[in-house]
Amino acid sequence: MYRDGVSESQFNQVLNMELDQVIEACKFLDENWSPKFVVIVAQKNHHTKFFKSGSPDNVPPGRLLYVH
């Protein structure tokens, strides 16, 4: 679950209310379906850039970065 522009005062609302509503919707579709979720909250003020090895360009928007 990806949320952009959530203030720190809204973190608990995202975790406690919105995630519960998504889980409830999954149960409505199939009561035996119990998916796992990762919650990603992006804040407006960040100065992090990710670069592909050997390229000076930032990765495309919406790209999922898998770090291990």
Q: Answer whether 0.85 is exceeded by the pTM.
A: no
The model's pLDDT over 2-56, given as tens digits with 9 standing for 90+, comes to 888 788 888 888 888 888 999 999 999 999 988 888 888 877 665 667 777 777 7
Domain ranges of the chain: 1-68
pLDDT at 24: 92
Q: DSSP string covering the chain, please?
A: -EEES--GGGHHHIIIIIHHHHHHHHHHH-TT-------EEE-S------B-TT--SBPPTTPPP---
